[in-house]
Amino acid sequence: MFARLGRVVVHNPWKVIGAWLLIVIAVVASAPKLTSTTDQSEFLPSHYESIQAMQLQQQAFPQSAAPAAIIVFKRADNAPLNDENAARVAAIAAQLGDEKIKDVTGIQATPPAENRLVQIAAVQMTKVTTAGDTTQSDAVKSLRDALQAQLKDTDLKAGLTGQAAQTLDQTESSAKGMAIIGIATIVLILVLLLIIFRSPVIALLPIIVIGGVSSTVGGLIAMVSKAFDLKVDSSVNSILLVVLFGVGTDYILFLMFRYRERLRAGEDPKTAMVSAVTRVGEAITSAAGAVIIAFMALTLSTLGMFRALGPALAIAVAVALLAGLTLVPAIVSLLGTKVFWPSKAWQVEPKGARFAAVGAALGRRPGAFAVVSGGVLIALGVFAFGFNPTFDLSSGSTSDTSESAIYSKELLKGMPAGATQPSDVLLRSEGGALTAPQLADYRAALAGVPGVGQVSEPHPSSDGAVAEFQVTLSSAPESDAALETVRGPLRDTAHAAAPAGTTAVVGGITSVFVDFQDAMNHDYTIVFPVAAILIMIVLALLLRSVVAPWYLMASVFLGFAATLGAAVLVFQHFQGNSGLIFTLPVIMYLFVVALGTDYNILMVARLREEARAGRDPRQAAALGVHHTGPTIAAAGVILAGTFASMMLAGNNVLSQMGFAISVGIAIAAFVMAMFFTPAITALLGHRAWWPGHGDRGATRDDTTKNGAAWSAEDYYTPQQASATSGRSNRGWSNTGA
């Protein structure tokens, strides 16, 4: 199949390029706009209590809501506010309200905090109706400008924080981060490919090809999101950019390495490209299939953010694969050997002394390599047991120097930590209006809950059947302590203290995070096993073996544990963070398992190829590391580097994701695929391929090429083939391995 595909593409390059141009134009012209959201409540199913509370709040109080933003005032000299300062704050709030700033519906100053270090003004804004609605963000920008004008010639300082301000700062931080990630990714790919191939043409090839098809990816994702009403998280764009360029470059790299190898074997450029597609087509298609399956397993998640993330990334990988097998061969077939210009190194087989030495050592002592590489994975994996999830996405997604982050910290000097985003308790009567004694007793019960700082006066609905209590927690709304308060005593008390004939639900962002955690725990038991089973099926079909998939997936599991352990070690132990972002294990699992399987497939496919050529298991392992090691090393460096660029974005969320994924890919490439997998395969020998025994010498039907059986010349240059042929009669030695 891949031989036929290669011939069609190579002999019809202009038609293939023209077809791609038509597809890109058609998709871009017809695709809707891709919008994203930062509202975490949009990702939860309706049966969770936090979502039920939000729905009840919208029904009972359609014109009322918690403040969209909070203005925090303080003295410029950090001294306590005096009565004149407090009066000035009230006057500024009133003047801002009189300016009729668009979409600011009300500004109400409150008395200073008890210690008088800060004073706040609550800001009501027009509600956001859709994911792409910038109403509140635009209002925050206008309000910030107006506020600074009012502060002139006063001894006060002030800034905006709260949900709307944090969303704006997060969006702007993400935009800056995207620019940094994009530039760093492109520069890294250019530099590394220049070093590897010494050719600006090959260095530019992935940038041009992937950049050209990226608009198609965005269009297809927008189509799918609209068709299935998927909510796309704002972080998807950053991940998508890195996945598309990283994975796409990897596939192009696999193809170009084999193309160069076939040229060195004496084939003409067109025949060499057909051979390259034939040889790597099955491997990279299987690898991409494993990645796509792992991503699509996310559609089983209860969380909308992951149900949208899975198809989005799967589309990116599928497009990268198609471009790698069709568009790239078409372009290269037109360029021929000019693709390597100005370098002539492609004409000479490198000695590959380092990888030859490593392969020879592994071939001699596979047991030692298996123990050492496995030991490294286990040692790092031990730290994974200390993983603690954190839900601090708002501050973690913005720079510490952003206004919302700065004044959120200032607010803590005088207010309970939960003041920026209080929880909501809604009490609903099933038979008429709630009475004043019921509301007073219920408020007192809520105020007595450990971890609760303040409880507002009840706000009744127009018919009196529903009352809303704003509960300010003593801890930051995303903290572990706040989550424990809402999950345990607050919800328990809210339900138990509800008068007869009434029901109560707890809402707010902390309640959303509690439900998120429950949903994540559910997903761990569904998504992970399903993805693992499906990937094992792909491996079994590729390798015609039921043994190899087990130890390949075991190595990937160890790689996942080691990666999580490394992240815990760096961020929780060395940097002293309270935890890692709660989505990290799922994202890591997908990338480490899926992309780690990529490298395992590439290595094990070469091991099978060497075994079919008559090598014994240890010799096959040595030659596999010798010849595939450079490809995996180059691909691993590029892919790990592209994900590491996320650490330059300037916020903790992307830093943790970038570090964890890049370390996971490095472990997958340089520990799992390079050492652990070939070592275990060498130790198992013929048993690794049971029951299909894909290591047996291939039959004429599946190994003929142009009517002749494959020989050593099909794998190596004539000089290498002669050397390996001579060794086959003398017994294998480590020279030339």
398 alpha-carbon distance from chain centroid: 17
| Cα distance between residue 341 and residue 3, in whole Å | 27
| Cα distance between residue 274 and residue 229, in whole Å | 41
> Minimal CA–CA distance to 602: which of 557, 636, 644?
636
| Cα distance between residue 496 and residue 503, in whole Å | 9
The two three-digit tokens of residue 309, written as one number: 């993330």
Q: What is the pLDDT of residue 580?
A: 85
| Cα distance between residue 165 and residue 136, in whole Å | 8
> Minimal CA–CA distance to 165: which of 69, 71, 73?
69
* Bond into 342 cis (ω within 30): yes
Are 157 and 118 contacting, i.e. CB atoms less than 8 angstroms apart? no
Q: What is the pLDDT of residue 349?
A: 67
The two three-digit tokens of residue 233, written as one number: 């998280």
State which residues of the chain have pLDDT below 70: 34-43, 63-66, 129-133, 174, 177-178, 229-238, 349-353, 392-400, 417-418, 420, 590, 594-595, 649-651, 692-737
The DSSP secondary-structure symbol of 233 reads B
* Bond into 617 cis (ω within 30): no
CA distances from 731 to 2, 710, 735 (A): 35, 21, 11
Q: Which residues have CB under 8 Å from 24's CB, separation 6+? A: 212, 213, 215, 216
User: To 5 degrees, how large is the angle CA 279–CA 280–CA 284?
Assistant: 155
Three-class secondary structure of residue 341 per DSSP: coil
Q: What is the pLDDT of residue 43?
A: 62
Are 2 and 277 contacting, i.e. CB atoms less than 8 angstroms apart? yes
Q: Is the dihedral of CA 625, 626, 632, 634 positive or negative?
A: positive
Are 251 and 284 contacting, i.e. CB atoms less than 8 angstroms apart? yes
First to last CA, the chain: 31
| Adjacent-strand bridge partners of 470 | 424
Radius of gyration of the chain (CA): 30
Instruction: Looking at 229-347, list the stretches that DSSP marks H as alpha helix, in order from N- to C-terminal side.
Output: 236-264, 269-296, 304-322, 328-335
Q: What percent of the chain has pLDDT over 70?
A: 86
The DSSP secondary-structure symbol of 357 reads H
